[in-house]
Amino acid sequence: MTLANKITILRIILVPVFIVFTIPDATWARFVAASIFVLACVTDPLDGYFARSRREVSVLGTFLDPLADKLLTMSAFIVMVKYQIVAAWMAIIIVGREVSITGLRAIVAQQVGDVIEANRWGKIKTLVQMIGGSILLFMIPSGDCSAEVSLRLPPIANFIMSVILAATVWSGWVYIREYKAYFSGSQNKPL
C-alpha cells in the first residue's frame, strides 16, 4: 500500500475519532474534536502530494480520497446541526449534494470503466468546506449549546455557510452539466 493511501486511510479513521469527541458535553472535548477535524483536513493535500511526487497515483487512492473527504465533511456538518451552529436544511443540502454526485460519478465511472477524478470545482468545494467547517467547529459556544447562546452565532455562521453552500451547489451543478450526456443517450460524451 502506498504512503498516499495510508494517509487517506488515516483520514477515514479520524472520522469516528472526531465523532466520539463530539459526544461529551464538555468544552475540552469540543476543542479536541475541532482539532481532530483540522488534523484530518490537513492530511487531504498531503496524500495528493505524495501520490503525485512519488508517482504512486492509484485507482484505490483516486476512489478513497474523495470518499474520505465526504465522510469527514458530512460528519462535521451534521455535528454542527447538533451544536445549533448551522440550520439542518443547510447540512441536508451538503449531504444531498455529496451523495448525489458520488452516485453520479459511480455511474459514469462504471460506464467509462475507470474511477473519475474530482474536477477543479470539486476540489475548490472541498477546500471551502474544510476551511469553513474548521472555523465553525472552533466557534462552538464553550460549554453551552443552548438556543440562547447559539443565537449569537448565526450571522457569522450564516455568512460562512452561504459561501460553503454556494461552492457546494455550484460544483454539483458543474458535475451534472459535465456528465448529463451519460443520461441523455448522447454519443458526444465527455472523457
The 10s digit of each residue's pLDDT in 67-82 is: 899 999 999 999 999 8
- Domains of the chain as residue ranges with CATH: 3-184 (1.20.120.1760)
What is residue 117's DSSP assignment? P
pLDDT exceeds 80 at position 49? yes
CA distance 76 to 37: 8
Contacts of 174 (CB under 8 A, 6+ apart): 119, 121, 122
pLDDT of residue 36: 97
Provide CB contacts within 8 A for 66, sequence distance 6+: 102, 105, 118, 122, 126
**Given this model, what pLDDT does residue 187 score?**
45
Q: Which of 8-12, 37-41, 54-58, 135-139 has the lowest mean pLDDT?
A: 54-58
